[in-house]
Amino acid sequence: DTEVTQTPKHLVMGMTNKKSLKCEQHMGHRAMYWYKQKAKKPPELMFVYSYEKLSINESVPSRFSPECPNSSLLNLHLHALQPEDSALYLCASSPESSYQPQHFGDGTRLSIL
Amino acid sequence: GQQLNQSPQSMFIQEGEDVSMNCTSSSIFNTWLWYKQDPGEGPVLLIALYKAGELTSNGRLTAQFGITRKDSFLNISASIPSDVGIYFCAGHQGGTSYGKLTFGQGTILTVHP
């Protein structure tokens, strides 16, 4: 079992819907990450939070809005998504946003109708 | 963005055979990581390498951090059916890329019983 928990596991939404993805870790990690992954491709970094502050935004469209309410939680708010946004969205955490390994959750499979 | 050159892209082997895959880069990395991803799950950390020349084992898995800091390999000995999955190498460069992992394209491993 992964120590990074993501909900929901699956999400189907229309292009006009608003939904949120949630990620939780209780390992005391101070860095958390959002990735987007297409089938059989490597994860692509979207956002990095370090000590609850956004430290990296990889030029992600504004229809994706991250939020870090506290050191254990990470949200990704979705609005007006496009069909090409359908993918596996992975959350990861690491002790700090440095060279320490990142540990991934099992992801949310997102389908945009 | 920058990617690591991971090879082979796919491997079809018989149970019991040994497997070798590698990643190379034109840039120096400070950390090399190897992950395995099963269908419907997130990447799982297999081995982390922190020093040039370092050789680390995890059960039947052995990985090495290249002496030039530009490459790494992963060996799997006596493969079993549950070794099936996608293996990703990843690296940290440090410096201004603090918190960012660069991934290889992945090696898809199929093991025939």
Task: Indicate yes or no: CB of A102 within 8 angstroms of CB of B101.
Answer: yes
Cα–Cα distances (Å) from B90 to A76, A100, B9, B13, B95, in that order, read: 24, 12, 15, 24, 16
- The residue to which tokens 């880069």 are assigned: B25
Within 8 A by CB and 6+ apart from A60, the residues are A46, A47
Give percent of chain A with pLDDT exceeding 70: 96
Cα–Cα distances (Å) from B99 to A96, B56, B111, in that order, read: 8, 23, 34
Residue A2, pLDDT > 90, answer no
pLDDT of amino acid A31: 93
| Residue A110 CB-half CA count within 13 A | 33
Q: Which residues of A touch B (CB under 8 A)?
A: 2, 4, 6, 31, 33, 40-43, 45, 48, 50, 55-56, 90, 92, 94, 97-99, 101-107, 109
Nearest CA to B85 out of B5, B23, B13, B17 is that of B13
pLDDT of amino acid B97: 63
Residue-wise pLDDT tens digits, A48-64: 999 999 999 999 999 99
Residue A30, pLDDT > 60, answer yes
Give percent of chain A with pLDDT exceeding 90: 90
Task: Indicate yes or no: CB of B99 within 8 angstroms of CB of A106.
Answer: no
Burial (0-12, 13-18, 19+ Cβ within 10 Å), A17: middle
Which of A3, A6, A40 to mutate to test binding with chain B, by most B CBs within 10 Å of its CB?
Answer: A40
B45 in contact with A, Cβ within 8 Å = yes
Contacts of A109 in chain B (CB under 8 A): 40
Residue A1, pLDDT > 60, answer no
- Alpha-carbon torsion, ordered B90, B54, A103, B93, to 10 deg: -50
Q: Are B72 and B66 in contact (CB under 8 A)?
A: yes
Neighbours of B19 (CB within 10 A): 20
Between A41 and B94, where is the model more confident? A41
Which of A6, A34, A97, A102 to mutate to test binding with chain B, by most B CBs within 10 Å of its CB?
Answer: A102
**How would you write the pLDDT of chain B (113 residues) with one tens digit per residue?**
567 999 999 999 999 999 999 999 999 999 999 999 999 899 999 999 999 999 999 999 999 999 999 999 999 999 999 999 999 999 998 776 667 899 999 999 999 98
